[in-house]
Structure 1
Amino acid sequence: MRSHATAPARLSARGALGSSGQLSKTRAATRNARRAVTRAAGAPAASAEKRTATNALTKKDLVAYLESGCKPKSQIGTEHEKFGYQLANLRPMEYDAHVAKLLHALVDRFDWEPITESGNIIGCKLNGQSVTLEPGGQFELSGAPLANLHQTCAEVHSHLYQVKTVAKEIGVSFLGLGFQPKWSVADTPVMPKGRYKIMKEYMPKRGNKGLDMMFRTCTIQVNLDFESEEDMVRKFRTSLALQPIATALFANSPFCDGKPSGQKSLRSDVWTDTDPDRTGSLQWVFEDDFGFDRYAEYVLDVPMYFVYRDGVYHDVTGESFRAFMRGELPQFPGEYPTLDDWEQHLTTCFPEVRLKRYMEMRGADGGPWGNICALPAVWVGLLYDETALANAEALVADWTPEEREYLRVAVTKDGLQTKFRDGTVQDIAVEMVRISKEGLTRRGCNEENFVDGLMEMATSGQTQADKLLDAYVNKWGMDIDRVYNELSY
């Protein structure tokens, strides 16, 4: 999803911190950065519940936290979301009747460890993986940090086997789409997580489609590493520029309220009217002073959602994290944030590429099994091979801010057919996948075949959304229920 607040900090504490030249010279800041621990749940660490900071954080502490993600070993963390539905009536899963039973079964049958909040099971974790709930009950797998794409696909296969086995027994299944094709927001149950209650009340104040984002969208995401600040900047800029091309390639959300929506990626379109404070194209990323410090400044200017203390999410929507750092948060006078609070605040920013102690690629619609493997593959091929990264940088080097913003908005409607300069986005997509496949080949892990399906889509111009729209008219008799047969796992 969008917030990915439930995603663990799975890549953030995996290896060495890199060379001393890459990290802050301030020892205190580095010690503070290391206090934040990797967790497999969405709730902040226990320390955030029990400890009130007595010393004010400085911006150096916040920057050092991001900087501590630098590591020489590059791994892959993949996330995907899917809609659970009742087989009998194609209605959403209910928490008590279905969702809680699924989670308890994973715990009882497959030895996952439960994650609870206020007495409710809201997820589970096992060996660096976590299964968590998005606001409307979308089931998310947040994968463990893995070395190659074969491990990623094996992880996905194991997860789907487990949840499908249990789901069949209780009469539910899962749908791989980027936007819910039938249900309204009002039709969708709210999961019992405190942060979602706060977000549901706040979202309509900042945009028209925030609730659609929360309750009716699903995504596939990959989380990748950086070795240094310079490496982070190169990867961030390149992937941010190319994110609209990925949106077009993975477009798989053409329906809304039982009929075509006019968009090929309605999920992506929703983000253009969700909350301007925490979305957008981040054009300043391409300016000379971009780095960890500039990103920290950006996040500091994003209004807060909540503060988590003693098992409770406290509503502080619209307040300033800067004021919190001064001990001047109205709801918590005289109290200072911990790095756990900073870690949580980072998850409330929703750009197409998001920086934590790793980088999140957030531009793709949810989709079928093959897409779950293809999404990390295309970005690994582009960003984890030096020659491929240089070629990708060259591909986008002369794009203007206006062109980048145009692409971000236009591809949601027209996908690969979006006009760009003397051609279309399809032309860029072919080149992007070609560069990625060559990068995967050079990695020497036999991973290059994972992008073959993307190359077929890029060369044909027919994405999943195009195929679904054609089937809706020519095969399904405009019966939207047929999509459940087509794209269920």
Structure 2
Amino acid sequence: MGETTTLRRPDLRRVFSAPPGRLEKVGLEVEVGLVCRNNLRNATYQQALALLDGVVRGHGASPVLDGAFTIGAAMPGGGTFTLETGGALEYSSATFATVADAVADVRDNLLAAAGIGAAHGIALTTGGIVPFAAADGIAWNPKPRVRVMREYFRDLGPDGGHADEVMGLILSAQTSLDYVSPADLMEKLRLLVRAAPVVAALFVNSPVAAGADTGALSRRMQYWRRFDPRRCGVLGVALDPGAGVDDLVDWAARLPMIYRCVNGSHVAAPRIPFRRAIEDGFGDGTYPTEADWELHLSQVWPHVRVRHTLETRLSDAPPWPWFGAGAALWSGLAYDPAARAAAGALLGDLTAADLDRAADDVAVKGLSASVGPHPAQELARELLRLARQGLSARVAAGLERPEAIALLEPLEDVCDTMHTFADRTLRAWSLGPSEFLRCFSVPA
């Protein structure tokens, strides 16, 4: 901070540019809950630190700090464990040329963490939400930005009404995909935005929250509706056939930052649009830098987030061991040109309003929902077929390993039988906490 020169549009566009010669790689981010087996409470920060210390000591990792606070562990292979705002543990893989390699990396590292957690009485739970705790049982991370974010969302009133649940209880398994040019970025982005609620219908998996059946298949998706809707939901600006990078810049620049970094610590940012901060400064004699812009882009959470990569965010996480299913589906659709074109044509009539309504419908009904004029199950079946076709083409071209195709099988089973991950969660829940933990934890 401290610069008095303002950012120019080329500076803002730079984060959306692909480096020359970029290859299409895949990254995964998988969040797991940290739950004490003896009382089903969320693990405290100190208990989570003990797990991270075990990772550092036993696996050659390096501590990740946020000021004076330990918040993660950087693994030798390039992946990173990070404590989320509400105490969940996220593993972010390095990027890999194949889905199969990315999934293997995540599996190995989560299994290692689960073994360490077991020694401390902690289970690593999977799915779309930590089902035992209510908002008042969240084990908040002590890093400064958590306090700033909670204050920001409280000030929004009803629009921030589920902020604590989003920050502290929900879990996801996200896929990061590459783009290789501005045109490629927009083509893939339009497809991912339109496909997001259809894919989410295959993954609904958070029917239990605060210890009770909610009556919805994805309570997690419902929570997102009251988490500052301005910066979440459907990225409708991407759906215009003439949209480009400048439209993405303008959309994000209309929003205020939540927090910024000053002297190594996160502090509240002025409640003004980012574009006004560029013109007038932050009010303390400083003006935004490119680092501020990138930090700002991490504070928006649409169904598909665009930065240096495309991140899919809408779907619940599936149970162990199917966390890689989403990466297989998304890469099969996005990385094979024929599959991408066919999927784009299939979904091309869907509007932003259709997709917004579909997100609400899917949260309650899953594959029985409608997406625009189409039954979600029909669209999902065709997307799965195209993803299998795309993965098979990549395997034939030597760009993917054959075992990636099998990652689609649990989704195909869900689509054919209409027996969702949420249905399995409810069955395990009905058998008691020990059975739930057995079925929905990373094995130690």
Please indicate the TM-score interval, normalised by the length of the shorter structure. Answer: over 0.9
| Correspondence for 2:62 among 102, 107, 113 | 113
Q: Which residue of 2 aligns with 1:381?
A: 332
Q: How far is 1:471 from its partner?
A: 4.7
Q: Is 1:193 paired with 2:143?
A: yes
**2:177·2:310 contact (CA, 8 Å) conserved in 1?**
yes
Letter in 2 for 1:161: L
Q: How far is 1:353 from its partner?
A: 0.3
Q: Which residue of 2 aligns with 1:349?
A: 300
Specify every segment of 5 or more residues in structure 2 that has no aligned partner in the other structure, as ranges.
none
Q: How far is 1:399 from its partner?
A: 2.1
Letter in 2 for 1:187: G
Q: How far is 1:416 from its partner?
A: 0.6
Cα distance change of structure 1 residues 91 and 471 upon mapping to structure 2, 3 Å threshold: closer
Q: Which moved more, 1:208-217 or 1:119-128?
A: 119-128
Query: Could you tell me how far apart the structure 1 residues matched to 2:366 and 2:321 are?
Result: 19
**1:69·1:357 contact (CA, 8 Å) conserved in 2?**
no
Query: Could you tell me how far apart the structure 2 residues matched to 1:395 and 1:347 are?
Result: 31
Letter in 2 for 1:139: L
Letter in 2 for 1:430: R
**1:133·1:140 contact (CA, 8 Å) conserved in 2?**
yes
Q: How far is 1:412 from its partner?
A: 0.6
Q: Is 1:260 paired with 2:213?
A: yes
Q: Which residue of 2 aligns with 1:464?
A: 421
Letter in 2 for 1:372: F
- TM alignment of 1:67-146, pairs within 5 A: 67-68=17-18, 71-96=21-46, 98-126=47-75, 127-146=77-96
Q: How far is 1:401 from its partner?
A: 3.6
Cα distance change of structure 1 residues 422 and 362 upon mapping to structure 2, 3 Å threshold: closer
SS in 2 for 1:369: coil
Query: Could you tell me how far apart the structure 1 residues matched to 2:185 and 2:236 are?
Result: 16
**1:254·1:266 contact (CA, 8 Å) conserved in 2?**
yes
SS in 1 for 2:323: helix
| Correspondence for 1:363 among 281, 291, 314 | 314
**2:259·2:268 contact (CA, 8 Å) conserved in 1?**
yes
Q: Is 1:402 paired with 2:353?
A: yes
**2:18·2:181 contact (CA, 8 Å) conserved in 1?**
no
TM-score, length basis structure 1: 0.85
Q: Is 1:392 paired with 2:343?
A: yes
**2:87·2:139 contact (CA, 8 Å) conserved in 1?**
yes
**1:392·1:435 contact (CA, 8 Å) conserved in 2?**
yes
Cα distance change of structure 1 residues 93 and 471 upon mapping to structure 2, 3 Å threshold: closer
Query: Could you tell me how far apart the structure 1 residues matched to 2:272 and 2:73 are?
Result: 31
Q: How far is 1:204 from its partner?
A: 2.5
Q: Which residue of 2 aligns with 1:449?
A: 406
Q: Which residue of 2 aligns with 1:485?
A: 438
Cα distance change of structure 1 residues 319 and 168 upon mapping to structure 2, 3 Å threshold: same
**2:215·2:364 contact (CA, 8 Å) conserved in 1?**
yes
Query: Could you tell me how far apart the structure 1 residues matched to 2:372 and 2:408 are?
Result: 26
| Correspondence for 2:232 among 276, 279, 289 | 279
Specify every segment of 5 or more residues in structure 1 that has no aligned partner in the other structure, as ranges.
1-50
- Deviations 1:35-60, CA, capped at 9 Å, x for gaps: xxxxxxxxxxxxxxxx5324221122
| Correspondence for 1:240 among 179, 187, 193 | 193
Query: Could you tell me how far apart the structure 2 residues matched to 1:467 and 1:237 are?
Result: 32
SS in 2 for 1:354: strand
Cα distance change of structure 1 residues 162 and 481 upon mapping to structure 2, 3 Å threshold: closer
Q: How far is 1:466 from its partner?
A: 1.9
Letter in 1 for 2:425: L
Q: Is 1:296 paired with 2:253?
A: no
- Deviations 1:113-136, CA, capped at 9 Å, x for gaps: 111123221111123211101111
Q: Is 1:438 paired with 2:389?
A: yes
Q: Is 1:158 paired with 2:111?
A: no
Q: How far is 1:205 from its partner?
A: 2.6
Q: How far is 1:246 from its partner?
A: 1.4
Q: How far is 1:426 from its partner?
A: 1.1
Q: Which residue of 2 aligns with 1:417?
A: 368
Q: How far is 1:403 from its partner?
A: 2.1
Q: Which moved more, 1:205-214 or 1:247-256?
A: 205-214
Letter in 1 for 2:201: A
**1:70·1:357 contact (CA, 8 Å) conserved in 2?**
no
Q: Which residue of 2 aligns with 1:28?
A: none
Q: Which residue of 2 aligns with 1:249?
A: 202
Cα distance change of structure 1 residues 482 and 258 upon mapping to structure 2, 3 Å threshold: farther
TM-score, length basis structure 2: 0.93
Cα distance change of structure 1 residues 481 and 183 upon mapping to structure 2, 3 Å threshold: farther
Q: How far is 1:328 from its partner?
A: 2.5
Q: How far is 1:358 from its partner?
A: 0.8
Query: Could you tell me how far apart the structure 2 residues matched to 1:421 and 1:355 are?
Result: 24
Query: Could you tell me how far apart the structure 1 residues matched to 2:20 and 2:421 are?
Result: 36
Q: How far is 1:480 from its partner?
A: 5.4
Query: Could you tell me how far apart the structure 2 residues matched to 1:253 and 1:365 are?
Result: 7
SS in 2 for 1:186: helix
What root-mean-square deviation, in Å, do the aligned CA atoms of Structure 1 and Structure 2 show?
1.7
Q: How far is 1:327 from its partner?
A: 4.2
Q: Which moved more, 1:460-469 or 1:352-361?
A: 460-469
Letter in 1 for 2:218: S
| Correspondence for 1:338 among 275, 286, 289 | 289
- Deviations 1:173-200, CA, capped at 9 Å, x for gaps: 1110212212111111110211111111
**2:205·2:218 contact (CA, 8 Å) conserved in 1?**
yes
Q: Which residue of 1 aligns with 2:120?
A: 170
**2:305·2:311 contact (CA, 8 Å) conserved in 1?**
yes
Cα distance change of structure 1 residues 124 and 431 upon mapping to structure 2, 3 Å threshold: same
